[in-house]
Amino acid sequence: MLPNVYQTLRLNSTVVSTVDKRIYRHGSAPQNVAKPYITWFMVSGVPENNISTAPCSDRDSVQIDCWSESDTEVETLAYAVRSALDSQLIANRMVINNRENDTKLYRIAIEADFIRSR
């Protein structure tokens, strides 16, 4: 429940130098925020159930979206996010790679599985 997304991403110096503290929960950023930035939200949270005791761990799937006005910059940011996740042994995969019609921002989304002991 409520994985440490912010802390995990801030472990990577490229993420920090690119977005500073512009990492926002609930899948949305403030209006007119400086670009680039990152948003994230929970996709699902599943306890690792067993028959004899309470669950000993949770698997939380999180979608992390990288946003930029530049295609090159959004790619650099997505690679940095992936590196931050990899360094903590968090399984991840790219699920979206597009350009938003309304905002014209480039977006790469990564889904990551945070598995934590209770």
pLDDT at residue 2, as a whole number: 82
Q: Quick one: pLDDT band at residue 73, thresholds 50, 70, 90?
A: very high
Asked if the model's pLDDT at residue 57 lies above 90, the reply is no
Asked if the model's pLDDT at residue 1 lies above 80, the reply is no
CATH number at residue 108: 3.30.2000.30
Q: What is the pLDDT of residues 22-44, one digit of tens each?
A: 999 999 999 999 999 999 999 99
The average pLDDT across 85-101 equals 97
- Within a domain: residue 51? no
Q: How many domains does the chain have?
A: 1
pLDDT at residue 50, as a whole number: 82
- Within a domain: residue 87? yes
pLDDT at residue 35, as a whole number: 98
Report how far apart, in Å, the C-alpha atoms of 75 and of each of 7, 67, 91 are.
21, 9, 19
Q: Which residues constitute the domain of residue 20?
A: 5-46+56-117
